[in-house]
Structure 1
Amino acid sequence: MKRSLMVLTALVCSSVSLAATVAEVKKKGVLVLGTDPTFAPFEFKGPDGTVQGFDIDIARAVAKDLGVRLEIRAVGFGALMPQAVTSGRVDMAMSGITITAERAKVVAFSAPYYRSAQVFIVRGGNPGKFAWPADVKGKVVGVQANTTGQFVADEVLKPKGATLKAYDDFAAGLADVRAGRIAALVGDAPTVADLKKRLPGQFAQAGADLAAEDYGMVFARGSDLAAAANRTLARMKADGSYQALLNKWIVQK
């Protein structure tokens, strides 16, 4: 996502991972998934209040292959990565979490399960005529705090003269885009597609991609659940069920 992790050396040294094992999960009969359900179409609350989405269905497949039920715990991203994972509060985390070398110092990742990109979200019709990389100097660009989008924007956009505005709440950034208070908001490509579907005409994508990134399932370091998740992912890609989920949640008809 979107989602970045600011890890200090002290945190790396002091984190104690309580790594749930496959045997422990099977014994208790439940796989506990931590997710921040604010990132459609990957995880979000449906009209009935249940958490659903692309990530959720993959997690259900992992639980099914283990022979256990999936329990979903809604956790704010700041608490999810890495504390909820390393403390053992959850067995795994999925929330559009980008695989980075920094994060891999404190958690274990599955193989990549989705390739995304950081893009610019603008008002429908792009009345401000925002473009990248041609048109960023002097523009106010929104980012979600503590995300890979913010990290990339700090590295790439600020030196080119952009003013960055950080939001704890992605929806607040979207509101400012819609109101014309900022020129663009950095977000994930699938988010733009979902916004276009749910809110026709209100938002669009502008300019070239800012950066590409891979999402991974997250586990405590030392847990054999990561290998189990990789087996499920390989099975799904082989039997067509992975593509079926892409078609269900992400591929635009």
Structure 2
Amino acid sequence: MISRRQFSLLAVGIGLTLAAPASAADFELIQPGKLLVATQGTFAPFSMRGPDGELDGLEIRVVKEIARRLKLEYTPVITQFDAALVGLLSGQYDMTSVSMDITAARQKQVTFADGWLASGAMILTRKTTGIRTGDDLKGKNVGAVAASTFGKIAEQSGATLKSYKAEVDAVQDLVNDNLDAVVTDAVAANYAIKARKLPLVTGEGTLSQVQKGFAIQKGKPNLTKAINGALADMIADGTYARLTTDLIGFDPHPKEPIRSEL
């Protein structure tokens, strides 16, 4: 038998427990207190090395802020794009932040957090090639990152595809006249020309309209909901716009994000 005062204190304690934020364990993490995130580190402006050698980029800034808001330690795991989903499904990290398009096929394998960036596929080429549209890719030697949607678009356009582990290598081959064009992300294409002052041009418009998503292993609803909540708060208070606009000059958040399938 407990006294009325003891009961009141117990009730308050229960209320505080229910109102408290979820612990690291509740996020279904591989390592308590840490958010293990797969990234490339070679795909500017999404993930790259800054002048000080530290990771920077759109995805790095956004996920670091998500981790901070969830009171977790952001822990990057460097991987190649074509190995990102394999590593996720085998439990090597909690999520991916590689510049991954949300597609129906991928949604069968993983859960995506709400779409965090709107973009599309774009042609990157030299001024002298005359390549401007998807139709112009037919019969051309075109580079794209392995396992990306960009390679599929190039092949569907009738191009001879050469796959690369890193987009920077494909762009370098293009500059060196070893390719006729590269199909890549529109944000990345424009950033490459402006930031790196490359002697390249983009095609006319985009070849697709896509949204990028952070991939999470299926069966982790708490982690997915926590990431979505932190992302929504960032957008609402202007932090997302500040972090991204500072790097690329505009806010790339989708007007109508693709929502998580939970």
Give the match for residue 139 of structure 2: 138
- Normalised by the length of structure 2, the TM-score is 0.79
Map 1:1-253 to 2 at 5 A. 22-25=26-29, 28-81=32-85, 83-123=86-126, 126-133=127-134, 135-155=136-156, 157-158=157-158, 162-223=159-220, 224-251=222-249
Kindly indicate which of the two structures has a greater share of residues assigned to strand.
1
Kindly indicate whether the alpha-carbon contact (under 8 Å) linking 1:140 and 1:182 is maintained by their aligned counterparts in 2. yes
Structure 2, gaps ≥5 residues long: 1-23, 251-262
Distance 1:106 1:201 in 2: 37
Q: Matched residue of 1:39: which SS? A: coil
Distance 1:78 1:130 in 2: 27
Q: Tell me, in whole angstroms, the C-alpha distance in 2 between the residues paired with 1:170 and 1:27.
A: 31
Deviation at 1:78, TM superposition (A): 2.6
Taking the aligned partners of 1:39 and 1:127, their CA distance within structure 2 comes to: 25
Cα deviation, residue 75, structure 1: 1.6
Contact residue 192 and residue 203 of structure 1 kept, 8 A = no
**Rounded Cα–Cα distance in structure 1 between residues aligned with 2:100 and 2:135:** 29
Helix, strand or coil: the match of 2:203? strand
Deviations 1:173-224 (A, max 9, x none): 2122112232211011111222122222422212231111110111110112
- The unaligned stretches of length 5 or more in structure 1 are 1-19
TM-score by length of 1: 0.82
What letter corresponds to residue 98 of structure 2 in structure 1?
S
Q: Displacement of 1:116 after TM fit? A: 0.9
Task: Tell which structure's C-alpha radius of gyration is larger.
Answer: 2
Q: Equivalents in 1 of 2:67, 2:198: separation in Å?
A: 38
CA RMSD of aligned residues (A): 2.1
Distance in structure 2 (CA, Å) of the matches to 1:63 and 1:22: 14
In the alignment, is the contact (CA less than 8 A) between 1:130 and 1:207 conserved in 2? no
- Distance in 2, Cα, partners of 1:61 & 1:22: 19
TM-aligned CA deviation for residue 88 of structure 1: 2.0
User: Structure 1 residues 63 and 139, CA, compared in 2 at 3 Å: closer, same or farther?
Assistant: same
SS at match of 1:171: helix
The structure whose RCO (Cα within 8 Å, separation 6+) is larger is 1
Cα offsets for 1:129-164 (capped at 9, x unmatched): 212145334322222221110112222x11xxx333
Q: Tell me if structure 2 keeps the 8 A contact 1:26–1:68.
A: no
Task: Confirm or deny: 8 A CA contact 1:133 1:207 kept in the other structure.
Answer: no
Cα 1:248–1:49 change in 2 (3 A) is: same
CA distance in 1, matches of 2:27, 2:131: 52
* Identical pairs, percent: 30
The AA in structure 1 aligned to 2:40 is D
